[in-house]
Amino acid sequence: MLVTRSRSDSVQALAPGLAMTGPVKMQHPVQETSVEVPVKVKARNLNVFYGEKQALFGIDLDIPSNQVTALIGPSGCGKSTFLRCVNRMNDVVKGCRMEGLLELDGKDVYRESLDVVNLRARVGMVFQKPNPFPKSIYDNVAYGPRIHGLAETRSELDELVIGSLERTGLLEEVEDRLGEPGTSLSGGQQQRLCIARAIAVKPQVILMDEPCSALDPIATARIEELIDELRQSYTILMVTHSMQQAARVSQRTAFFHLGKLVEDGETERIFTNPRETRTQDYISGRFG
């Protein structure tokens, strides 16, 4: 499968009209380069309905492995709906129905034989508002490995918990109080705890639905750094209402409008040389 990949891993993709730090260096229209990258998640002609109301219309989208793909677009355009198709969270939404194809590693996520619990271990999710369980910091992270039977001994479990906390940069901040409630942490720490909880089950894909929108700028910067590190090991699909954030952390961007995918491609190209007028209007703040 052929998709395009950023030529540089720079997070400096700049959009004209966006208040970003640093000057706009891009002099020439950015062209996309075609490089072979494995596709992790693939949607074809995906339609989603809530009762009679159609929320997504014929979405065709390839999400490449080990990159951050940002989903942007005005409120209500279907970003969260798309995200919830990938780990079948829409299954539990009453009246929600989907048509079309959604594949993870080339296999239909909606096939009958699929084990949804196993799918949700492979496709982790982080929500807008940090939602630690009413348990200790340790038990929050140990929860997934316990229910999925990933650790046979206490020391294996300790290793998974400590490793996951370390990965999110939280360990040094909490190592002397692992028994305290997760809810005792600051908002940014709670969100990193939720990310540690998600990665403790060794997922392949992490879905993030506006993971920073409840956080202050410092906590946001910390999470953005973490997302950039995590893409080495995971495929990340992130909804954000902040175009600056999409430009800073993603390699690819998909722009949704009124339930349709208007355009997707390299983030740098989308923000400097969009093909569609609607994309240009949205990124320059003409609507949204």
Q: By the criterion CB under 6 A, which residues form the site for ligand ADP?
A: 50, 55, 73, 75-81, 93
Q: Name which of 16 and 76 has its Cβ closer to ligand ADP.
A: 76
Cβ-proximal residues to 7 (8 Å cutoff; 6+ apart), any chain: 33
Minimum CB separation of residue 261 from ligand ADP in Å reads 12
Stretch that binds Mg ion, among 77-85, 242-250, 254-262, 276-284 (CB under 5 A): 77-85
Q: Name which of 47 and 128 has its Cβ closer to Mg ion.
A: 128
Minimum CB separation of residue 180 from ligand ADP in Å reads 33
Stretch that binds Mg ion, among 46-54, 72-80, 151-159, 182-190 (CB under 5 A): 72-80
CA distances from 248 to 94, 220, 225 (A): 36, 12, 10
One-letter amino acid at 228 equals D
Q: Name which of 203 and 211 has its Cβ closer to Mg ion.
A: 211
Minimum CB separation of residue 80 from ligand ADP in Å reads 3
Q: Name which of 138 and 282 has its Cβ closer to Mg ion.
A: 282
Among 69, 80, 245, 279, binds Mg ion (CB under 5 A): 80
Q: Name which of 60 and 166 has its Cβ closer to ligand ADP.
A: 60
261 three-class SS: strand
In our burial notation (b when 16+ CB lie closer than 10 A, e otherwise), range 148-181 reads eebbeeeeebeebbbebbebbbbbeebeeebeee
Q: Name which of 86 and 201 has its Cβ closer to Mg ion.
A: 86
Q: What are phi and psi of 122, to 5 degrees?
A: -80, -25
Minimum CB separation of residue 71 from ligand ADP in Å reads 8
Minimum CB separation of residue 267 from ligand ADP in Å reads 18
Minimum CB separation of residue 126 from Mg ion in Å reads 13
Query: What is the pattern of x (binds Mg ion, CB under 5 A) and - over residues 133-172?
Result: ----------------------------------------
Q: Are the C-beta atoms of residues 32 and 89 closer than 8 Å to each other?
A: no
Q: What are phi and psi of 283, to 5 degrees?
A: -70, -20
In our burial notation (b when 16+ CB lie closer than 10 A, e otherwise), range 6-43 reads beeeebebbbeebebeeeeebeeebebeeeebebbbbb
Instruction: Using the Cα atoms of residue 268, residue 271, residue 276 and residue 278 in order, give the sign of their dihedral.
Output: positive
> Residue 81 binds what, of ligand ADP, Mg ion, none (CB under 5 to 8 Å, by partner type)?
ligand ADP
CB closest to Mg ion, residue no:
80
CA distances from 78 to 39, 206, 213 (A): 22, 18, 17
Residues that bind Mg ion (CB under 5 A): 80
